[in-house]
Amino acid sequence: MQTGLFDFESTSAPFGLNDVIAALKKVRVHVLTDEYRLHKKIAEQLDQASIPYTREYRLGNGNRVDFLTANGIAIEAKKRKPNKKQVLAQLERYASFPEVKAVILVIERYQGVPEEINGKPCFCIGLNRLWGLSSK
């Protein structure tokens, strides 16, 4: 259920971080040819879990997160195995915005992330791990 821009102060979201993680762990894509397909699968799972979100949410100049849920959970999706330093820098930028309460990286091949970035919870969901495949 994609929403438009929303007022974070007045939104009372009936879901939490664990609900978002559980929904994302249901994402299944076998061969990623582009990030658009991954975004579509993520949106489908968020919709099935009735988690409201905005796609391509603009946090600020040059900072557009793939998904931002109504309660401030930023979801960034990456295919394959991108440059770890660049991805961490991107997550740090996102976590610096006040409307972001937590950050989740959804990536084809698992990549370790800190437990917290800028004092906000951070998680990585490696799709290959969900399938029981080695990703290292």
Under CATH, what is the fold of the domain 17-130?
Endonuclease; Chain A (3.40.960)
What CA dihedral angle connects 67, 72, 75 and 76, to 10 degrees?
A: 80
Residue 85, phi-psi category: left (phi > 0), alpha (psi -120 to 50), beta (remainder): alpha
Six token digits for residue 53: 């979100």
Q: How far is CA 105 from CA 11, 66, 100, in A?
A: 23, 10, 13
Looking at every residue in the chain, the average pLDDT score rounds to 80
Task: Please state whether the predicted TM-score (pTM) of the whole model is above 0.85.
Answer: no
pLDDT digit string, tens, across residues 6-60:
443 334 445 677 778 777 876 766 555 677 888 988 899 899 889 999 999 999 9
Q: Tell me the domain boundaries of the chain.
A: 17-130
